[in-house]
């Protein structure tokens, strides 16, 4: 057990000397002391309300309302950052517009029957669930899953903030790019239930109708699955054998062109939807898969591939606006 040091007692003479010193201090010294303190306090408040109270203009400081507004939802081919060559950025460079990239890699159109967990956050952001949050304005499911949000990348956290605060009524185009993960997961294409959330076509219908309610003036572009291959991987994470073409290999529910066809069929059911065929349109497949720059792996487009996608996307936009 330690002992506290007793405070030193000042003599009467010492007290008098200190009082004289204090009385001789310039009053401006006290002012100069308080100015930095006040500025620090004000700066802290500004930081809190300007950054921690998130607003879309913080994330997108140069939004120009008169420009065409595009919202991208989808999987990793839209989501991933490539230093300015991601698809939404390339679209903005070629077309006078503002693009909100709210795609999240690994997500499907269809909903999963598994409960939300840290390892299953993809289901939280499926088109079925995300469109429901957007339509209702209720994003509480995200706040109830704090474990996921706390561990999520800054990229996802930023997109969650954008999704919560975006003015959806101002959107001119909504792009729904889903299919690759539905294919790899083996989600059924359809069932007897028209709006079956656990099927690809059912989830697409739910997403389309909800986004139309949230963005009533927007044209909705259904962007199909792109060419991909399936690569077997061992439990140690080592690639095994040669990859299988998505045009011939399926997971029990159809090949990639079956998912393309399913999206095309759904697009024809609505007067405000437009279809972008990324299989026939991009002319990427078994014959040129290995060409340098087209793909960066078995499923993700390379810079040249993303440029081809952007060209086809803008061609469709110009056709719509004729």
**272 contact partners, CB below 8 Å, separation of at least 6:** 212, 218, 219, 220
Q: Give me the pLDDT at residue 151, please.
A: 64
Q: Give me the pLDDT at residue 312, please.
A: 96
Q: What is the DSSP string of 224-259?
A: PPPP-EEEEE-TTS-EEEEEEETTT--SSS--HHHH
Q: Give me the pLDDT at residue 141, please.
A: 80
Residue 150 confidence class, pLDDT cut points 50, 70, 90: low
35-73 pLDDT, tens digit per residue, is 444 444 444 434 333 333 334 444 454 456 689 999 999
Identify the bridge partners of residue 68 per DSSP, sorted by sequence position.
97
Minimum mean pLDDT among 66-80, 171-185, 229-243: which range? 229-243
Model pTM? Answer: 0.79
**47 contact partners, CB below 8 Å, separation of at least 6:** none
Average pLDDT over residues 123-150: 84
The overall average pLDDT reported for the chain is 82
Q: Which domains does the chain have, with CATH numbers?
A: 69-320 (3.40.50.1110)
Average pLDDT over residues 3-25: 47
Q: Give me the pLDDT at residue 227, please.
A: 96
Q: Which token pair is 270?
A: 């609505």
Q: Give me the pLDDT at residue 115, please.
A: 60
79 closest CA partner among 272, 299, 282, 304: 299
Q: Give me the pLDDT at residue 188, please.
A: 96
pLDDT at residue 215 is higher than 70: yes
Handedness of CA 113, 138, 59, 109 (dihedral sign): positive
- Per-state percent for the chain, helix, strand, coil, to nearest 5: 45, 10, 40
258-292 pLDDT, tens digit per residue, is 999 999 999 999 999 999 999 998 988 888 988 99
DSSP character for 206?
A: H
Average pLDDT over residues 128-138: 95
pLDDT at residue 305 is higher than 70: yes
């Amino acid at each position: 057990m330690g002992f506290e040091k007793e405070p030193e007692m000042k003599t009467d003479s010492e007290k008098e000397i200190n009082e004289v010193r204090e009385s001789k201090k310039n009053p401006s010294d006290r002012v100069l002391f308080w100015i930095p303190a006040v500025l620090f306090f004000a700066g802290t408040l500004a930081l809190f309300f300007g950054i921690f109270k998130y607003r879309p203009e913080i994330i997108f400081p140069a939004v120009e309302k008169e420009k065409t507004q595009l919202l991208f939802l989808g999987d990793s081919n839209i989501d991933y950052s490539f230093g300015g060559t991601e698809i939404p950025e390339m679209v903005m460079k070629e077309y006078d517009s503002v693009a909100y990239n709210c795609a999240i890699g690994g997500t499907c159109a269809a909903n999963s029957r598994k409960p939300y967990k840290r390892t299953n956050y993809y289901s939280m952001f499926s088109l079925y669930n995300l469109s429901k949050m957007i339509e209702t304005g209720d994003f509480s499911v995200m706040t109830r899953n704090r474990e996921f949000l706390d561990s999520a990348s800054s990229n996802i956290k930023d997109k969650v903030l954008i999704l919560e605060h975006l003015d959806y009524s101002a959107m001119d185009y909504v792009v729904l790019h889903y299919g690759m993960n539905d294919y790899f997961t083996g989600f059924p294409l359809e069932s007897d239930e028209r709006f079956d959330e656990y099927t690809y076509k059912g989830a697409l219908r739910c997403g389309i109708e909800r986004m139309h309610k949230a963005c009533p003036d927007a044209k909705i572009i259904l962007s199909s699955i792109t060419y991909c291959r399936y690569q077997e991987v061992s439990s140690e994470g080592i690639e095994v054998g040669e990859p299988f073409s998505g045009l011939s290999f399926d997971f029990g529910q159809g090949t990639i062109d079956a998912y393309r066809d399913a999206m095309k069929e759904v697009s024809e059911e609505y007067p405000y939807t437009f279809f972008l065929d990324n299989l026939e349109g991009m002319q990427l497949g078994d014959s040129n898969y290995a060409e340098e720059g087209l793909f960066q792996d078995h499923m993700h487009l390379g810079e040249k591939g993303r440029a081809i996608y952007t060209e086809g996307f803008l061609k469709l936009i110009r056709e719509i606006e004729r």
